[in-house]
Amino acid sequence: MRKYCLLVIIFMVYTGMMLCGCGGGARDVPTPSQALIGSWKPANPGGAFIYFSPDTATYVPAKGGKSIAVHYEIVEENTGEFWVKLRYGDSGAGEEPFLIKFSGDRNRFYLYPSSAPEVLEYTYVNDRETP
């Protein structure tokens, strides 16, 4: 009888999670530029939170400080490999664009800045576009 009750409880919890979307599954976004929109937290220590809207990236330091908003443009997008290249509005046309590659479930991205030696990893938080 105890096993039966335990199975019923597990089934109810699992069903509740599936109905409310709390299962932590993949994000359903058709393009990398759409997957980018929202708020992202840094996996790397000392990184900044990033809030992406369709044309602006707002950086908020994790340890306090002043946020900065920067306009960007998408210069290339690959839906097959699910990556996007973007260039900030204040950077010159000769500057190498940033490469952002998404994980298979679209809940993480890896930022390859042209000026930094390390890859920066970010985790999706929610669809908020501003801090």
pLDDT, mean of residues 67-90: 93
Residue 121 scores a pLDDT above 80: yes
Q: How many CB atoms lie within 10 A of CB 58?
A: 18
Residue 25 in this model has a pLDDT that exceeds 60: yes
Residue 56 CA to residue 70 CA, distance in Å, equals 5
pLDDT recorded at residue 118: 83
pLDDT at 95: 74
Give the predicted TM-score (pTM) of the model. Answer: 0.75
Q: Which CATH number fits domain 27-126: 1.10.3470, 2.40.50, 3.40.50, 2.40.128?
A: 2.40.128
* CA–CA separation, 32 and 68 (whole Å): 23
pLDDT digits (tens, 9 = 90+) for 45-69: 888 999 999 999 999 998 888 999 9
Of residues 90 and 83, more confidence is placed in 83
Residue 115 CB partners (closer than 8 Å, separation 6+): none
* Cβ atoms of residues 89 and 71 within 8 Å: yes
